[in-house]
Structure 1
């Protein structure tokens, strides 16, 4: 059991279930030379995961609490009261798709992620609450924080500006419990 509520990440610059921005038009200083030996790259979006962060819990519905005012340990039962969907949050500037980003993160860190997960109504959990303590429970979705680099490679092998992207991607549904 935890001793504090779940830590909340700062997501002020993130967008829920983000789709890629419109691709910027690239104008090279010199137009590419159209000769048989001219350099050519297959145009593509690139995402490279760099830092695997912590798992953060995003609650769905209210926090449930139960105070045990007795002198003995009591059993506290909690029931999720709403159904809610939690998706990917990502900073603006992702040059590819969210699904491609997820695939890269899964491959690098050997985890199973989802574009969105649903925390459902009616899920229950029971915990022992010590005397004179309060047990708290929040149902929701755990999301993995990741930081990576996103950019586009053009046919003339030039690249767009590289952007640092922060994402929170659903990894599992569950309860976060703490006691105070």
Structure 2
């Protein structure tokens, strides 16, 4: 797996958004999933042990198919500041807690999360991590226009990906192919919006 991304404020968006961060639409996500046990294959007919029988090296397969958007998962409360003046004011925000954000994945992934991450990194040339920590006391400042509220949420950006997961057995048959949606940490940072 590639090196763990670090938190850099220089990578943050230079514009302030007009709405809170979007939430992932999936409701069947598993946060920080435990590795699944290797499935056992029970063929319909007992295998015939012949010298010319087909053999495959048993393995789990994950194929990334669609690179999605980055979603922000907040750690701690949203900070807000209303500018009731007639001039632009500077709003400063400080993260109030430390929290760890890991991978979320729909059920049915064959193999390990680390193997899935490695395949996504290789296909899209990105650096991902199984977990990232958003730390206490990180600060950011933004200009708040007159009669507007600036909002800031500190946390971890996660890359959405959809892929196919299945297992190849020693007799070269495969398990059912499942579509897997994952959200994998890519970097720590702030999400800013104004209303």
Smaller-chain TM-score range? over 0.9
- The Cα of 1:35 is off from its aligned counterpart by 1.9
Contact 1:64–1:136 (Cα < 8 Å) also in 2: yes
Aligned equivalents of 2:155, 2:26: Cα separation in 1: 17
Kindly tell me the number of residue pairs found equivalent between the two proteins: 180
Contact 2:36–2:112 (Cα < 8 Å) also in 1: no
- The Cα of 1:141 is off from its aligned counterpart by 0.1
- The Cα of 1:19 is off from its aligned counterpart by 2.2
Aligned equivalents of 1:107, 1:172: Cα separation in 2: 17
Bigger shift: 17-26 or 141-150?
A: 17-26
Q: Which runs of 5+ in 1 are unaligned?
A: none
Contact 1:20–1:93 (Cα < 8 Å) also in 2: no
- The Cα of 1:29 is off from its aligned counterpart by 2.0
Q: Which runs of 5+ in 2 are unaligned?
A: 1-15
Q: Secondary structure at the match of 2:100?
A: strand
- The Cα of 1:26 is off from its aligned counterpart by 1.4
Aligned equivalents of 1:105, 1:45: Cα separation in 2: 15
Contact 1:21–1:92 (Cα < 8 Å) also in 2: no
Contact 1:88–1:115 (Cα < 8 Å) also in 2: yes
Contact 1:55–1:144 (Cα < 8 Å) also in 2: yes
The answer on 1:98 being equivalent to 2:113 is yes
Give deviations 1:136-176, integer Å, cap 9, x for gaps.
00000000011111111000001111111110000000000
Moved over 4 A (4+): none
Aligned equivalents of 2:181, 2:50: Cα separation in 1: 40
- The Cα of 1:33 is off from its aligned counterpart by 2.4
Q: Secondary structure at the match of 1:106?
A: helix
Bigger shift: 131-140 or 11-20?
A: 11-20
**TM-score normalised to the size of structure 2?**
0.90
Give deviations 1:36-71, integer Å, cap 9, x for gaps.
221000000000111111100000000000000011
Give deviations 1:70-96, integer Å, cap 9, x for gaps.
111100000000000000001111110
The answer on 1:62 being equivalent to 2:77 is yes
Aligned equivalents of 2:55, 2:117: Cα separation in 1: 28
Contact 2:157–2:186 (Cα < 8 Å) also in 1: yes
Aligned equivalents of 2:176, 2:37: Cα separation in 1: 14
- The Cα of 1:121 is off from its aligned counterpart by 0.1
Contact 1:143–1:172 (Cα < 8 Å) also in 2: yes
- The Cα of 1:3 is off from its aligned counterpart by 0.4
The answer on 1:112 being equivalent to 2:127 is yes
Aligned equivalents of 2:26, 2:42: Cα separation in 1: 33
